[in-house]
Structure 1
Amino acid sequence: MLILLSALLPGLLSGSLVAEPLLPVQAAPDVWHQIGPNPRQYEPSPLPIPRRKRVTEVPPPVPGETPPATQTGIPAAPVQASAPRLTRYTLCLAAGDKDLTSGIAAARAWLAEASKAATPDTAHGAAAQCLGQLLLQQGDSAGAEAAFIESAGQVPATDPAAAAALQTMAGNAALAGGRAETALSWYDKALSPLPASAPSAEDNAVRGAVQIGRARALVALSRLPEASGALQEAHRLAPNDPEGWLLSATLARRGKDLERAQRDIEVAASLAAHGDPLGAPIGLEAGVIAMLDGREDAARKSWQSVVALAPDSAEAATAKGYLDQIGPAPTSSPAASPAAPPETSR
């Protein structure tokens, strides 16, 4: 990450998060024409940050199943001397990884079998959850949303945290399908149970992640002040989540508050670990902020670092487009010595 933003964010190298002094922005209104073929598509769009797996996207505990312990979407096996125990849920996800179409068919068959139970059932919930995750991989966001809600309906009333996790997954699916209003309703339901009187750091991190989802939905609905408030709450609950700071930097940049945008992108960069998938989006956004601030060389170096960091990513493709439009850095050549005056005859 220091390589990614070393030229753009010198404060990070010294451990400081104080934004470097900003240059005049007289050229800012015209800069959009330098960094994108159709900048008006970029500015008002939903926060353009691909979602990574979050705590709230990890399958919640299912009685009798292997508890989730990773952020990969596939529960980790319990620590034991013998070989890991495979469950029908893990096998369902593995089948989808091997062949998505056949995996979805198998998940549907399992769900049909499990749904015959007359009362809420853990197998029913696990089958619906697996189907939702596979449908989301297929791009069927509406089907995934419905499956996650069906799974949430199987969670006992005594476990509101598990239901909230599934409601958040439904919100993420709805947002991926462009249904921001629906997504917002699921996020709000996930937050509706009152937090514990003494919430743990993990509890706060989960609620902070939901607030980040709310912010994305609110931006899509053009409710920007509310989105800013949601991000402030996310910062309070999960101050070490780089995604929240990245989104608030993007939101500040769109509001033309470049000083705030610079500050927040520095915080995001300081929190993103080496190899974090947010590295490329952070670098891309940092370059946009620098360009709008009149620091073309810093923007160029940041976008070049994005290309070097993740050459096959969508962010790298965007960065290459920006670099093509601003062109290479100007080169300076030593000033030519003035020619000697012609000698005159005496």
Structure 2
Amino acid sequence: MIIAALLLLQGYSPETEAVMNRSRQQAQERRAATSSARGTKAGGEGATGSLVALPLPPEVAARLQACLDTAIADPTEGAKVASEWALAGGSYHAAQCRGFAFSRAEQWDQAITAFDAGAAEAEKAESSLDAARLWVQAGNAALAGGKPDSARGYFDAALGHGLPDGLPKGEVYLDRARANVALDDLMAARTDMDVALNQAPQDPLAWLLSATLARRMNDLVRAKADIARAGQLSPDDASVALETGNVAMLTGDEAAARAAWTKVQTIAPDSEQGKAARAALAQLGAEAPVPQKP
């Protein structure tokens, strides 16, 4: 019964939903907003050495934010506005908005091209931190578009420029770990994931993905510890609860697995996680709770 339930879980995995797809557009939006919010702030936000971000004049910051807002409301119109801005000398800021608009429309090849061109323009402008950020965005677009090898190359380029310690660097290592998982290079993924955890220890997604990676590598002690940390940081995340059940089952704690999968039903009964948890509970002979309509 236990083996059957675990085999059933192979139809859904956190790597498929969380690692490859989950929150990618949100990540693009967060990075775009962070860049536009820099305003007139000079320097590299804690960067050291030769890492530089050019000051962003208020009028450019305002135009970038307006372009991003347009892309959020209407990606096609956002791409048009960005292209017009590029013709008017918008440089890599216009390219960033154009790539963002294509990402919103899930036109990944066009997004990759726009971000890559923007990074090249930022390089010419000697704004190395902006170039690194745009390469990260190109990498995320490549991952979303099913091109993990290209994605890894973009993340390599970003990290090669150096990034300030902390969450930004941690996210890039996490992204490169995702690319390595997609390329089935689990040892490289583990190395990158450990750096990501060191740089961004408060990111629950990093701990979730570290746990799923450890499970795939048959390191159940590590998987159990990491998913517990993810649960502490994000107790109401359905992906975390689902993986908690997966790890519990593999470590022989059927009661904990049942509890975790039942929790998924409470958090997100109609989600892909909810469907997977419901199927697993059925395999265990457990009756999943009936979702309550609000």
- TM-score, normalization by structure 2: 0.78
Aligned length: 264
- CA 1:179–1:155: 2 relative to 1, 3 Å: same
Extract unaligned runs of 5+ from structure 1: 1-29, 68-84, 330-346
> 1:306-321 alignment to 2 at 5 Å?
306-321=264-279
Structure 2 CA distance for partners of 1:286 and 1:309, relative to 1, 3 Å: same
- Give the partner amino acid of 1:294: G
Which string of whole-angstrom CA distances, capped at 9 and with x for unpartnered residues, describes residues 292-333 of structure 1? 22222211111111121123432222222222222227xxxx
State the AA in 1 paired with 2:256. Answer: A
Select 1:293's aligned residue among 251, 269, 272: 251
Task: Give the distance between the partners of 2:38 and 2:183, measured in 1 at CA.
Answer: 41
2:149 maps to which of 166, 172, 181: 181
Question: Is contact 1:303–1:320 with CA below 8 Å preserved after alignment?
Answer: yes
- Between stretches 300-309 and 210-219, larger displacement belongs to 300-309
Which of the residues 79, 83, 90 maps onto 1:112?
Answer: 83
User: CA contact under 8 A between 1:245 and 1:265: conserved in structure 2?
Assistant: yes
Contact kept? 1:111, 1:124, Cα under 8 Å: no
1:90 and 2:65 aligned? yes
Contact 2:38–2:61 under 8 Å retained in 1: no
- The one-letter code sitting in structure 2 at the alignment partner of 1:264 is D
**Corresponding residue number in structure 2 for 1:281:** 239
Q: Which amino acid aligns with 1:208?
A: G
Cα distance change, pair 309–64 in 1 and its aligned pair in 2 (3 A): closer
Greater share of helix: 2
Give unpaired runs (5+ residues) of structure 2: 42-59, 288-294
Structure 2 equivalent of residue 209 of structure 1 = 171
Question: Are the equivalent residues in 2 in contact too, given 1:54–1:209 (CA < 8 A)?
Answer: no
Matches of 1:131 and 1:312 in 2, distance apart?
Answer: 34
TM-score (structure 1 length as normaliser): 0.67
Taking every aligned residue pair, what percent have the same amino acid on both sides?
A: 35
Quote the Cα distance in structure 2 between the aligned partners of 1:286 and 1:170. Answer: 32
Match in the other structure for 2:92:
125
Deviation for aligned residue 1:263: 0.8
1:143 equivalent in structure 2: 110
TM-superposed CA distance for 1:44, in Å, is 11
Structure 1 CA distance for aligned equivalents of residues 269 and 127 of structure 2: 43
CA distance in 2, matches of 1:44, 1:314: 10
Please report how far the alpha carbon of residue 65 of structure 1 lies from its aligned counterpart in structure 2 after TM superposition.
5.8
